[in-house]
Structures are given as structure tokens and as C-alpha cells.
Amino acid sequence: ELEKTLGARIVDVDYSNVDSLVAQLQDNNVHTLVSTLGGRSPPEQEHALIQAADRSSVTQHYIPSVWGVKSRPEVSWSPVAAPKLAIFEALEKTQLEWTLVANGFFLDYWGMPKSKSYLSQAILALDVAANKAAIPGTGDTPITFTYSGDVTKFTAKLLTLDKWEPESYIISDRLTWNEIVKLKFDVTYDPTDLLRSGKITKLPSHVYVYKFLPKEALQGMPTQFGLLLAEGVLDFHPEQSLNDLFQLAFMQDETVVPFDLENLFGRLGLDLGDRSGERAEWL
């Protein structure tokens, strides 16, 4: 039934058995493996997929489950970044052609439930429902934002390219926190020293997440992300993004026009104002 809904086949796999994974890839003629393992999946599962794809006689291309940013060695201190760095190291040792999709921060988190999303809800920096914000750092560092629906569309188009770059960027929007909170959020700034101590300002909607994620764990995740954001890790400046590559498709097919912050906040009844000048600066 789910296969009909998704329009795709579902195959049971055992991530603890690399030989079985190799057989599944070859039996199903999987030439490109796109990993979408969740953030709570054990790192061993991704490494098993990488080993299986490299051993498979039919699999040639691999997209790891990164979906955000390419972590650099200088941020290896972060529990968020360290497992990703290990994935890149493992892929470098294979014969696979691979690319990571760097899309920055998912816009979805601030549009739920008015914007369709399959991501789990998380309250990060902006509590739209309570009109409050706890901004990591000074709020002046630009951040790349992309809607998950755009990520799927651009990734599908990425698969049509004859050659992949090591990093594939998707940029729906780029703003600083301070540009966003001018929408009359009640703002608190969390200095990096506070974030390094493992603490953040509690937002009103956090209490609704505690039943899914303990308070200690909820504090830990935003502090790590907050430090990365404050240090500019998600301020992308690629020579060419997938947006650039598929610009013609934008003009021909409105379904691939990026869903940006203006669209998102418009649905929430918020107005970012005239941004035509600043967009021309980075597009």
C-alpha cells in the first residue's frame, strides 16, 4: 500500500550485513545510492552503505546523508560534525563518484504546520508561534536557508548531470538572523561563551518538544548548531550552485522556483519587506 502511495518500491535491508546490502544493490540494479538516513541513525549504518556501494558491481554514484553543510576539519570538535567528517573520509577511500548536497538550514522548521514538511518539528532560534527568538552569537552572520521540497527537486535534477562536483549547493535564500527578527520578534542573544557551556535561552515552544526529546538533549542540539551558525559555517559562497545550473528550468517550470523565506513568512502573515536589491547581490 505504501509503495503505491510513494510510487516507489520498498525493500527491506539489514544494515548490519554488508554482504546482504551488496546483494540488494546488485539485484535491484541500483546505480546511484542516495542516503537519507536520519540524524539519530547509528553512524555504522551509513558506513555499511558506503562499503556495500563500493563493492557493488552496478553502483557507481553516492550521495551521503549530510543534507546541510560540508563540515570542515576545524569544526571536528562538534558532535554534529565529527560523524560527517568520518563519512567523507570513508567515501574518499572508495571508487565511487560522490557528492554531498549542501542546502544550509531547512526552512521547514519555521513554517510548520502551514507549510508541508516531512521533517520532525524542532524549535531552533525562532519560536514563530510565541513571537520570540533566541539568536546564537551576534545575529549578523549570513545563513543559507532551503526548503526541503526544493532539496528533493534539485537532487532529482542533480542525478541528470554527467559529472558531479564534490559539493553540490542549493540556496533558496540567504539572510542574517537580525534581518529576520526585524519582523518584531522578542529577541534574546545567546553569546558564544554561553553556547560553549552547553546552554541556550529557553523558548516557550520548547516545552512541547520535551515529550519527544528530553530537555538536556534539546539544549545540546541547538547549542552545537548555534555555534556552527555563529561561526559562519552555513554562509555558502560556491562558484556555482545547482540553482545556477538549472536556471533555465526555473523559467520553464514554476515547480522548481525556490521556496524562500518571503514565501514562508507570507504564509504565516509576516512581511519581510522589499528585498529585491539584496537578492540581486547574492543571486
Average pLDDT over residues 249-270: 58
Distance CA 238, CA 283 (A): 11
Hey, which residues does 34 pair with through a beta bridge?
63
pLDDT at 44: 95
> Please, which pLDDT band fits residue 264 given cuts at 50, 70 and 90?
low
Q: What is the rounded average pLDDT for all residues in the chain? A: 82
pLDDT at 168: 94
Of 71-75, 101-105, 182-186, 239-243, least confident by mean pLDDT is 71-75
pLDDT at 195: 85
- Pick 106 or 253 by higher pLDDT: 106
- Pick 185 or 98 by higher pLDDT: 98
Q: Assess whether pLDDT exceeds 50 at residue 276.
A: no
Q: Write out pLDDT tens, residues 13-31.
A: 999 999 999 999 999 999 9
Q: Which amino acid is at 149?
A: G
Q: Write out pLDDT tens, residues 142-160.
A: 988 888 888 998 999 999 9
Contacts of 210 (CB under 8 A, 6+ apart): 218
Distance CA 88, CA 21 (A): 20
Q: Write out pLDDT tens, residues 164-179.
A: 999 999 988 888 989 8
Of 80, 147, 81, 154, give the one whose Cα is nearest residue 117: 147
Distance CA 220, CA 230 (A): 16
Of 165-179, 203-217, 247-261, least confident by mean pLDDT is 247-261
pLDDT at 278: 43
Q: Is the pTM of this model over 0.85?
A: no
